[in-house]
Amino acid sequence: MKVCVFGAGAVGGSLATRLLAAGKDDIALVARGPHLQAMQRRGLVLRSGGTELKAEVPVATDDPSTLPPQDLVLVTLKAHAVPGAAAAIARLLAPGGSAVFMLNGIPWWWNHGRPGPVGTLPLLDPEGALWREVGPERTIGCVIYCPCDLVEPGVVVHAGTNHFILGEPDGSNSVRLVQAVEMLRRAGIDGRTSTDLRRDMFGKLVANASGNTLAALTRLDLGALAADPALCDQMMAVMHEVLAVAAALGWDLRDEVDVPAIARRGKPGQRPSMLQDVLQGRPIEVEALFGQVHAFAHQTGVPVPTMDAVLPLLRGLDRALRTAATSPVAPGR
């Protein structure tokens, strides 16, 4: 298959290294900046479980229009960057091709393939570009369990679990879904299928909406959050609220999730993706990980007082990061 990893950063770089090293499919990468330059010069390095995997990168570009049509586009951008890439992703897809959105949190295509509201989610696809250009009918969803960190250009460190749950928006076990999972497995990647991916998304969001966000706000890793009783209580409060929202939407996980165990399992040095972004001065995935769940809560009448308090702080932090990234550097004294 012709496969493009669109946004080959931390998670995308991990996937790309394994896919390229396996040599089973025709792999192209879309990236930018020093990371792209490093991959073009030296290839990719993935450090995981005490081993180091290296792969040459024959095709990598920051201009996706130079690539031929692709059978699969694995979109591994941060959620807030995806709408701006909608037209480029759409142009990459071959007739019959699919885009696998490997995103954190609630995805823009949420309303497709299920009863209820139709159309895109404005918090995640503000201008409707993804719904219009890519189309939810050409979309496969994914829940990622692959903690990675881009420690330097061309070098990714992976620690912990390593599996990807793929699912159709309508819950079907389609041919294209099976083919996408088989492509991952050919590279030794633990690809799995799901007939209820939204349930799987909420299962991960319980931890992500709490640990990611509080780590970003405090700049503490998950180990430090777990060791602080007051912050641990705040994480658990967010978790309980996310579970209540999920239940109101039809996915009741409250008897399946051990909230205290999740809140206390963080290890020193464990930096979730939102904390990595804050430390690098990058925008954060506020709406996908938190804002859209908060919107669901208000739509369904679920009280979420902790989320009510935290969301404005996250949006303020994101605004500050974006402002700093575009402001000219003041001269030194």
For residue 129, the number of C-alpha atoms closer than 13 Å in the C-beta half-sphere is: 17
Of the residues 24, 78, 204, 267, only one is catalytic, namely 204
Residue with tokens 């299920």: 114
2 in catalytic set: no
Q: CA-to-CA distance for 106 and 103, rounded, in angstroms? A: 8
Contact 292, 29 (CB under 8 A): no
Q: CA-to-CA distance for 18 and 34, rounded, in angstroms? A: 21
* 40 residue type, one letter: Q
* Segments of 213-321 assigned E as strands: none
> Which 8-state DSSP code applies to residue 174?
-
| Size (the chain), residues | 333
Sheet of 148-152: strand order equals 51-55, 44-48, 155-158, 148-152
Q: CA-to-CA distance for 221 and 228, rounded, in angstroms? A: 11
Residue with tokens 């949420």: 110
**Residues that are catalytic:** 204
